[in-house]
Structure 1
């Protein structure tokens, strides 16, 4: 027979354990910083600067679509970088190879994460949010715009 009180107590225990498990990550990543936060998620090397601009270098070029005026517009070439750098424009291709990659490589997102969920690590810095999603997908949002990467394709808005 289903016992609602027992179920609620177990759910509260799981939620509390999840919060406590994430606390060390949050304390480590939330240290005061004034410069960019660099990280790697799969094959993307990314950085978020102190004003929330986000950029990622892709290890391999990918197809990209950008949502403009409600329509999905395909970029007519494969991109090697994606950037959110303005509230006035959607996420878009970047053209500064390696700009978001540290010499020797970026630390893994799990090393700088401010939290996680069932899909993977997440981080928040300077108003931007990025994280690993379902089946290793990756997303970032900032300045009212976003992009998502999955299976060698990027969807931006």
Structure 2
């Protein structure tokens, strides 16, 4: 009897994972990267950051002071994904700025912000004070809930 109950629960779990729970999830609105292009780089502002995605997928954000902490210890004012063999990291301004003050701001969308994709990189932001970028197999995010890099 126990084996039947276990098998029934396993089948139910598999069915739910294939079908979903039906609760739905909120998503950010996609924007056209061409609207943010200057030269061969996409520049955008979102919340407390000015960010860019270069044509090679290099992604980075200049962040207002007091927002992000690398390893949840060291205050940083930038984060970047610039080479595939390193996780997202601060550059401490060594390579200059990533953003432009005159760049277009990502729209707020439905409260979850917007997503921009270019050169294999994707960034979401503008909603609820958080920004998340993925590129070259790594990611970073920062905002009211803390900072994470992978």
Same fold (TM over 0.5): yes
Gaps of at least 5 residues in structure 1 are 1-20, 66-73
Flag the 1:126–1:139 CA change in 2: closer, same or farther, 3 A.
same
Match of residue 107 from structure 2: 110
Q: State how 1:4-153 maps to structure 2 within 5 Å.
A: 25-26=31-32, 29=34, 35-61=40-66, 62-65=68-71, 74=72, 76-96=73-93, 99-102=97-100, 104-110=101-107, 119-132=112-125, 135-151=128-144, 153=146
Aligned length: 120
Query: Secondary structure, in 3 states, of the residue corresponding to 2:64?
Result: strand
Q: Which has the higher strand share?
A: 1
Structure 1 stretches of at least 4 aligned residues deviating more than 2 Å after TM superposition:
28-34, 132-136
Check conservation: 2:36, 2:104, Cα contact below 8 A.
no
Q: Closer, same or farther in 2 for the Cα pair 1:99/1:123, shift >3 Å? A: same
Question: What's the secondary structure of 2:74's corresponding residue?
Answer: coil
CA 127–80 in structure 1, closer or farther in 2 if over 3 Å, else same: same
Q: Is contact 1:63-1:152 (8 Å) kept?
A: no
What is the root-mean-square deviation of aligned Cα atoms in Å? 3.1
TM-score (norm 2): 0.66
The structure whose Rg is larger is 2
Relative to the length of structure 1, the TM-score reads 0.64
